[in-house]
Structure 1
Amino acid sequence: MSQFFRVHPDNPQSRLIKQAVQIINDGGVVALPTDSSYALACHLDDKQAVERLRRIRGLDERQLLSLLVRDLSELANFAMVDNRQYRLIKSVTPGPYVFVLEATKEVPRRLSHPSRKTIGLRVPDHAITLAILEELGQPLLGTTLIMPGETEPLNDPDEIRARLEKQLDLVIDGGACPREPSTIIDLTGEEPVLVRAGRGSLAPFGLGQAA
């Protein structure tokens, strides 16, 4: 049975943020709000939690999970980026984008794509998620909360609680989020490649206007 925290979306209560981080550190899988839809997240070093997260979402080992980071100061620990890539990422973060980048050797193999050695990185623009990342002191592993067989992400914390309370350890109610997934951009090649259109403009990547 999951816990359910109502957290202020602009001024998150410190007590609840600390409790949420404790649940994550104890191996919990949580649903939390982002600047796109709700996401599932867990501790990046907890293999059992990562496997549970994949089961809930119906994702196999080949499907990329994303690292949620506080800011770009953590980028070099997990991804190899050149100046061009860095400037592009910096221009649109924090924001509703996941960037597919080449993973560094420090990234555990189970977190990177098994054949391509890539990693997804995201700097979310949401006070609750950023507060959790700040308190945790390291990235979270996350994925957009889209249920198996469905195409739209979940954005209502009450619905998430009703459907997943037996599978999650915590649902953080930060109010309704947009019902759009994050936009995924692959930056591993010469030019940006759109992997999934979602919330956010594609214009900065030379891929057209708003998704």
Structure 2
Amino acid sequence: MAEFIRIYEENPNPREIEKVVNVLRDGGLIIYPTDTVYGLGCDITNTKALQKIARIKGIKLEKANFSFVCADLSNLSDYVKQIDTPTFKVLKKALPGPYTFILPGNNSLPKEFKKKKTVGIRVPDNRIATEIVKHLGNPIVSTSIYDEDDVIEYTTDPELIYEKWDNLVDIVIDGGYGDNNPSTIIDMSNGEFEVIREGKGPIDF
């Protein structure tokens, strides 16, 4: 049974954030709000947790395109090769915001992602998500929670999410209604600017 925790974005309760962080450190999975759709996340450094998410998504871990949720751009150099000034300017302008940027990965990636040439980086404009990452001290690996229902690809009501995911995760955070529009994905891994998916974020950099 997952725990259902209400956290308010305007003023995230530090005790509740700490509870979530402890679950992540213990290899638990969480469902949490972002500035787009609700995400399924775990600690990037915990292999067992990463494997659990891959199993839930029905994919091999080394083939998974999970994004890394960071608190701000200062985490970037931990996982991304040095990026040029024009790329950094775009990131600085767009983040925090509803974007996933695909960037060239470096040699410090966790071993499960070593074979990947690129990583998807996300800095959501949502205080619940960024406070969790800040207190954890490293990014969380994240993936959107799709619904099999074609009419509603993304469930927005935390209580319905809880009903559906109750047995699969350790904590579902109720941070209010989510969006049903995913992030805009932009590939900047080779110095070009290529929109892979148009989502919530406008492309007017």
TM-score between both structures, scaled by the size of structure 2: 0.93
Partner of 1:43: 43
RMSD: 1.6
SS in 2 for 1:168: coil
SS in 2 for 1:64: coil
TM-score between both structures, scaled by the size of structure 1: 0.90
Q: Does 1:171 align with 2:172?
A: yes
Partner of 1:209: none
Q: Would you say the 8 A contact 1:57–1:146 is kept in 2? A: no
SS in 1 for 2:125: coil
Q: Would you say the 8 A contact 1:31–1:168 is kept in 2? A: yes
Q: Distance in 2 between matches of 1:169 and 1:179?
A: 23
Partner of 1:106: 108
Q: Distance in 1 between matches of 2:161 and 2:69?
A: 20
Q: Distance in 1 between matches of 2:201 and 2:101?
A: 13
Q: Would you say the 8 A contact 1:144–1:182 is kept in 2? A: no
Partner of 2:67: 66
Q: How many residues align?
A: 202
> How big is each residue's C-alpha offset from its partner over 1:190-209, in whole Å with a ceiling of 9 and x where there is no partner?
421111221110122xxxxx
- 1:87-102 superposed matches below 5 A: 87-102=89-104
For 1:47, give the aligned amino acid.
T
Partner of 1:30: 30
Q: Would you say the 8 A contact 1:71–1:94 is kept in 2? A: yes
SS in 2 for 1:110: helix
Pairwise CA distance, 1:58? 3.1
- 1:122-137 superposed matches below 5 A: 122-137=122-137
Q: Structure 2: 5+ residue runs without aligned partners? A: none
Q: Does 1:76 align with 2:80?
A: no
For 2:100, give the aligned amino acid.
V
* Structure 1, 73-82 or 89-98: larger mean CA deviation: 73-82
For 1:36, give the aligned amino acid.
T
State percent identity of aligned pairs.
Answer: 34
Q: Distance in 2 between matches of 1:106 and 1:149?
A: 38
Pairwise CA distance, 1:57? 2.6
* Structure 1, 137-146 or 167-176: larger mean CA deviation: 137-146
Pairwise CA distance, 1:149? 7.3
Q: Would you say the 8 A contact 1:35–1:96 is kept in 2? A: yes
Q: Distance in 1 between matches of 2:141 and 2:173?
A: 16
Pairwise CA distance, 1:148? 5.5
Q: Distance in 2 between matches of 1:63 and 1:53?
A: 10
For 1:90, give the aligned amino acid.
K
Q: Does 1:188 align with 2:195?
A: no
Q: Structure 1: 5+ residue runs without aligned partners? A: 205-211
Partner of 2:204: 203
